[in-house]
Chains A and B, each alone.
Chain A
Amino acid sequence: DQQVKQNSPSLSVQEGRISILNCDYTNSMFDYFLWYKKYPAEGPTFLISISSIKDKNEDGRFTVFLNKSAKHLSLHIVPSQPGDSAVYFCAASGLAGGSQGNLIFGKGTKLSVKP
């Protein structure tokens, strides 16, 4: 059973608009969440993270929002650029993940930003 779910396998957005990528989790003990970006033929690269003590973290064009009561987080990219086209993975961890230090990944959402 998947503990981290990204229900949208793909998303297409026009350049300059906002991209919103969603992620849901089932384990209420997760206390740290990360987003990774992956280009073809490369490994995932860390993008942004958020601790469960916060509900928002911002880094330039990227903002992650966390709604603990809904067990939901989202990544906002504003404005979207063609170079943002990639697969985005949501990841979570916490003591209840089974082993501390173990990141549980979602299946990813492929974002396409069209010029």
Chain B
Amino acid sequence: DAGVIQSPRHEVTEMGQEVTLRCKPISGHNSLFWYRQTMMRGLELLIYFNNNVPIDDSGMPEDRFSAKMPNASFSTLKIQPSEPRDSAVYFCASSFGFYYGYTFGSGTRLTVV
């Protein structure tokens, strides 16, 4: 298995532009998580899906952030419009049954200038 695949690995964009981050979870996993890592706040959960349904989006910072999971093999995290303070590494993770832990992707490093 190729693991959790995230794209792009790096994204540099100008303030005000729309940014879309993509994630392909491990086949057979039924939960998908979006995390954001910053120096100040560490790893924060933004949103998670179970069986493609959003369960908890309380970590989504603002209405500028939205996430979708149209099917079991794909999810997107969109920021519109982007701001410099959104600069961070965004991780996607998936799991099957919670107690086996999560498998993380390699992350997308977003820089908003």
Contacts and interface: CB of A to CB of B under 8 A. Distances in A.
B53 interface: no
Which of under 10, 10 to 19, 20 to 34, or 35 or more describes the interface residues of A?
20 to 34
Contacts of A45: 104
Interface in A42-91: 42-46, 49, 89
Which of under 10, 10 to 19, 20 to 34, or 35 or more describes the interface residues of B?
20 to 34
A106 B31 CA distance: 21
Contact of A46 (B58, B98, B101): B101
A106 B42 contact: yes
A92 to B, nearest CB: 12
B42 A105 contact: yes
B26 to A, nearest CB: 12
18 contacts: A41-B107, A42-B106, A43-B93, A44-B43, A44-B104, A89-B42, A89-B43, A98-B56, A98-B58, A100-B98, A101-B48, A101-B95, A102-B48, A103-B45, A105-B43, A105-B44, A105-B45, A106-B42
Interface of B: 4, 31, 33, 35, 41-45, 48, 50, 55-56, 58, 91, 93, 95, 98-99, 101-107
